[in-house]
Structure 1
Amino acid sequence: MPDHLVQKLPDYVLSSRADSTRKKYTYGFNSWCKWSKLHCISSLPASTVHIALYLVHISETFNSTSKIDEAVYAISWAHKLAGFPNPCNSDLVTSVREGSYRKIGHKINKKEPITANILSKIVHLYGQRL
């Protein structure tokens, strides 16, 4: 096998995604690896149960659907590159992901409506600058 081609293989594989996407996936996968190491579990290949627990952790810690998506995409991509089956496609992980969306999406922080007095002050202050 030609060594010069083997050496170029990782660069070609990593180039399958844009730099920004690759950085985001790398960050997401590294976060998963740190959490996995902290809990003495395998990060690659990963168990569907462990990924589901990790998504619960992200949901509880960050309260962000984008963080959940970042983790799922990063873990999926790493498994794909390593040639392992994608554990994020399991019904358990999918259900936890959807449940996290619902829990995060239903937290409503109502704000006080703007009063006529405040609106009048805003118009008076900024209305003449248009």
Structure 2
Amino acid sequence: MKRFDHLTPTVKTGENAVAANVSERLEAAIRDSKSANTVRAYRASWRKWEEWSAAHGARVMPARPEAVALFVAERAEEGKSVASLRLAVAAIAAAHDAAGHANPCADRVVKTAMQGLVRQAAQAGASQKQAAALTAEAVEAIRGALNGAADGNPKVARDIAIVSLLACTGLRRSEAAALDWSQVGTEADGSGRLTVTRSKTDQEGDGAVVAVSRLAMRDLERWAELQGRDRQGPVFGLSGRQVSRRVAACAKAAGLGDGFSGHSGRVGMAITMLRNQAASATIMRQGRWNSERMISRYGRNETAGEALRYL
């Protein structure tokens, strides 16, 4: 990608006058308002901004919009994805907000730079890659491939339960990792209800209740029985990364190929519900989305196929 040469910042050498503990202050300020994963990502992005500023003689905080624009442009030249660029901008904005400074990323210069970089990435075919979908069909294939070994193998039963639960609830991998048995309830018809106490889009901890299919509940119950202990404490006892790895391993074992991850359940849930002609409001409620944007993105291939009815 070409650098935005006209965005060269006018900064004075040695103007980097931010206190050495700014990273610690940033983390402390946003820790209670962001998830742990977000804090870690912001911390890493903020350090990159500090390193770049030191190398270019730019002021870390309050930052000049022109310097931020040049920073993200150079990151794009290094091959960073659009998602990484947006994360960098968000981290810089959060740091300034936490310190009580004006947000340089709200300036037209930064917004214009980001719009140009996103457009260049799209033209180069570098749109953000979507995780493979854990649709109902994919889950059935995994269950068919692994079910034979599940009754005598607790780990296999656990993996099937992970895949099944993510595909119908749209849990994020971090939410699945943090899931406790106290959050899972059984209904009279054999389905379940799962209380998500805090999530990426619910930082205040208001909580949400989502439905669990009867099949997923049976998979969970088998896993609970094979655990050989009361249904107390963590449901899976894995980290978010481990959850993602188990999903990928299950998909590969079923011959579904690569591209599956801890995010596949959210994509698959949206697509399955779209195929079953669920209303957008119902999908949003189950996935805990605040708008239809992600539903449209995940289901763009499905909705594009609707045109075939008229062709």
Q: Structure 1's 12 and 36: CA in aligned 2 closer, same or farther, altered over 3 A?
A: closer
1:23 and 2:23 equivalent?
Answer: no
Shift of 1:108: 3.7
Question: How far apart are the structure 2 equivalents of 1:106 and 1:20?
Answer: 30
Unaligned runs of 5+ in 1: 1-9, 110-128
Q: Structure 1's 11 and 55: CA in aligned 2 closer, same or farther, altered over 3 A?
A: closer
Q: What RMSD, in angstroms, separates the aligned Cα atoms of the two structures?
A: 1.9
Question: How far apart are the structure 1 equivalents of 2:72 and 2:88?
Answer: 8
How is 1:27-66 mapped onto 2 (pairs within 5 angstroms)?
27-66=44-83
Amino acid at match of 2:97: K
1:91 and 2:96 equivalent?
Answer: no
Q: Which residue of structure 2 lines up, in the alignment, with residue 119 of structure 1?
A: none
Q: Which residue of structure 1 lines up, in the alignment, with residue 190 of structure 2?
A: none
% identical equivalent positions: 27
The answer to whether the 8 A contact 2:30-2:39 is kept is no
Question: How far apart are the structure 1 equivalents of 2:88 and 2:116?
Answer: 15
Amino acid at match of 1:39: H
Indicate the structure with greater strand content.
2
The structure showing larger relative contact order (alpha-carbon pairs under 8 Å, at least 6 residues apart) is 1
Question: How far apart are the structure 2 equivalents of 1:60 and 1:82?
Answer: 29
Amino acid at match of 2:56: H
TM-score of the superposition, structure 1-length normalised?
0.72
Q: Which residue of structure 2 lines up, in the alignment, with residue 14 of structure 1?
A: 31
Q: Structure 1's 72 and 106: CA in aligned 2 closer, same or farther, altered over 3 A?
A: same
TM-score of the superposition, structure 2-length normalised?
0.31
Question: How far apart are the structure 1 equivalents of 2:125 and 2:30?
Answer: 42
Question: How far apart are the structure 2 equivalents of 1:37 and 1:12?
Answer: 23
The answer to whether the 8 A contact 1:63-1:104 is kept is no
Question: How far apart are the structure 2 equivalents of 1:18 and 1:63?
Answer: 23
> Which deviations, in whole Å up to 9, do the C-alpha atoms of 1:65-99 show, x marking residues without a partner?
01110110000000000100000001110000000
Q: Which residue of structure 1 lines up, in the alignment, with residue 92 of structure 2?
A: 75
Amino acid at match of 1:75: I
Q: Which residue of structure 2 lines up, in the alignment, with residue 118 of structure 1?
A: none
Aligned length: 101
Indicate the structure with greater helix content.
1
Amino acid at match of 2:95: A
